[in-house]
Amino acid sequence: MSWQTGLTGFLAGLLISVITSPVGVSGAVFLLPVQLSVLHVPNPAVTATNLLFNVVSGPGALARYRHNGQLTGALTRLLIAGTVPGVILGAIIRVFAIPGPQIFRLVAAAVLLPLGLWLCTRTLRADACDRPPLSRRVILGLSPITGTVGGIYGIGGGSILGPILAGRGIPRTRIAPAALASTLLTSIVGAATYGILALTSSGDIAPHWILGLLCGAGGLIGGYLGARLQPYLPEKALQLLLGVLATILAILYLIQGSRGR
């Protein structure tokens, strides 16, 4: 890996995390397109490298939530119980069922498009929600599914469940620490699963360790800066920017995937 690639990865992780952390969106969602289309990390190692980014960049914010006593809730345990098995299944599916770039772009579009539309809709309408919160049984049923998708895409499971829970009226003060804890743990398990699969299978499967660590270091600094700058940043404008960007990326990946590029 050249120093230019490493520097680009570090700066990408830093800048993306500065923008996404105040909004409550995982930087890994937007780092993966950078790895895929700018840094040209091969498939399926791009997913494992994205999980490694989560492992390095996540502990800073998680330590703050722990200090504030926000990691003791039942929601945290509920998400972890479901997403951890899901991410292992997702890694196996990614390696053996969809290792190539064409179908993975379609998977990326399937993750980015709903996220982009949700961010845009959330920005343009009131945040109030009159629908009842999801039950424990429903959350436990959804978490393995989101964990599987997160293992395939490379973002863990909490980042996908967060918007679903927010849309059903659960306060963000409960969602954010639970989703982050779930994302961190599933990313550790997911990255380890890819490492084990690389020992037993051929191909570029294991994380690109140096690049993932550099991106994660940038994300760690960027997440801290984003949290510090949150009171001074235009949250609604950032949400709309990320929503539009995710939607555009999804459309581009749909076009590229359908054309076999």
pLDDT in tens, 196-227: 999 988 889 999 999 999 999 999 998 888 87
The answer to whether 242 and 23 have CB atoms below 8 angstroms apart is yes
Alpha carbon distance 236, 206 (integer Å) = 37
pLDDT value at residue 193: 94
pLDDT value at residue 91: 94
Residues whose CB is less than 8 angstroms from the CB of residue 245 and which lie 6 or more positions away in sequence, other chains included:
30, 116
Over residues 135-180, the pLDDT tens digits come to 788 888 888 998 899 899 988 776 677 777 766 666 666 777 777 7
For the residues 247-257, what does the mean pLDDT come to? Answer: 89
For the residues 40-68, what does the mean pLDDT come to? Answer: 85
For the residues 181-205, what does the mean pLDDT come to? Answer: 90
Alpha carbon distance 92, 72 (integer Å) = 31
For the residues 119-145, what does the mean pLDDT come to? Answer: 76
Q: pLDDT higher for 62 or 5?
A: 5
* Residue 47 in this model has a pLDDT that exceeds 70: yes
Please state the pTM of the whole predicted model.
0.86
* Residue 260 in this model has a pLDDT that exceeds 70: no
Over residues 226-244, the pLDDT tens digits come to 877 777 778 788 878 888 9
Residue environment code for 173-209, b if the CB has 16+ CB neighbours within 10 A, otherwise e: ebbbbbbbbbbbbbbbbbbbbbbebbeeeeeebbbbe
Backbone angles phi, psi at 155, to 5 degrees: -130, 10
Alpha carbon distance 156, 188 (integer Å) = 9
pLDDT value at residue 96: 92
* CA angle 246–28–138, rounded 5-degree value: 85
The answer to whether 206 and 48 have CB atoms below 8 angstroms apart is yes
pLDDT value at residue 126: 58
Residues whose CB is less than 8 angstroms from the CB of residue 103 and which lie 6 or more positions away in sequence, other chains included:
257
pLDDT value at residue 152: 92
**Residue 184, both tokens:** 């961190």
Q: pLDDT higher for 11 or 28?
A: 11
Phi/psi region, residue 128 (left: phi>0; alpha: psi -120 to 50; beta: rest), is: beta
pLDDT value at residue 202: 82
Neighbours of 133 (CB within 10 A): 14
Over residues 68-93, the pLDDT tens digits come to 676 667 788 888 888 899 999 999 99
The answer to whether 116 and 155 have CB atoms below 8 angstroms apart is no
Q: pLDDT higher for 126 or 23?
A: 23
